[in-house]
Amino acid sequence: MNRRRVLSLLPGGLLACVALLMNGKHVEAKNMEHKSWRLTEEEWRRRLTPAQYRILREQGTEPPFSSPLLHEHRPGLYVCAGCGLALFDASSKFESGTGWPSFHAPIEGSVETRLDFRLVLPRREYHCIRCGGHQGHVFDDGPPPTGQRWCNNGLALQFIPR
Ligand SMILES: [Zn+2]
């Protein structure tokens, strides 16, 4: 069931409650497709591996502890595997123990968030602002200085050492 169908099944009152549950945090539910990188589905399939396509274009999740980027500790930049936009600096990476590469903050202006209703409790999904590619989910149980945990699929990123 896709997101639009789920949203259409939810009464407005419930949506309002969900928004309140998010405690006034910035919540967006805008169209994920971004204007500047509008490829056809066929072009995306040619550009990405099947596993990357599943994550970036269909909001999939890779198995935990499967990404080689978990063991990447060099300085550098993590860029979107879809379009190459720099999303995270290695200085914001931390060991979350969750099995997915985790960061305490994205590079400013590189991602946007929206509510994801795929599980019972809504989560905050985030995606590359340039190509709309799904990256992961952000939680409020991260370390200082932000207290946030940006939990990212390794397959949705490429690492460029400095
Ligand atoms: Zn991108």
Among 133, 140, 35, CA closest to 79:
133
| Encoded tokens for 120 | 């019972």
State the distance from the centre of ligand 1 to the C-alpha of 111, rounded, in angstroms: 9
CB environment 86-103: b (16+ within 10 A), e (fewer): ebbbbebbeebeeebbbb
Mean pLDDT of 112-139: 93
CATH of segment(s) 26-161: 2.170.150.20
State the distance from the centre of ligand 1 to the C-alpha of 87, rounded, in angstroms: 8
User: Does the active-site annotation cover 151?
Assistant: yes
Give residue 118's pLDDT band: very low, low, confident or very high (50, 70, 90).
Answer: confident
Q: What is the per-residue pLDDT across 23-72, written as a single tens digit (0 to 9) for each?
A: 333 334 344 456 678 899 999 999 999 999 999 999 999 999 999 999 99
Could you check whether the bond before residue 144 is cis, i.e. omega within 30 degrees of 0? no
Residue whose tokens read 């066929």: 42
pLDDT at 19: 38
Q: Are 138 and 124 in contact (CB under 8 A)?
A: yes
pLDDT at 120: 80
pLDDT at 15: 41
Tally DSSP H helices, then E strands, for the chain.
4, 9
Ion ligand 1 contact residues with beta carbon within 5 A: 80, 82-83, 85, 128, 130-131, 133
- Domain regions of the chain by residue span: 26-161
State the distance from the centre of ligand 1 to the C-alpha of 13, rounded, in angstroms: 34
pTM of the model: 0.78
Residue whose tokens read 């990476």: 93
Least confident of 13-22, 82-91, 143-152: 13-22
Least confident of 32-36, 82-86, 131-135: 32-36
The residue that leads in pLDDT, 31 or 156, is 156
State the distance from the centre of ligand 1 to the C-alpha of 100, rounded, in angstroms: 19
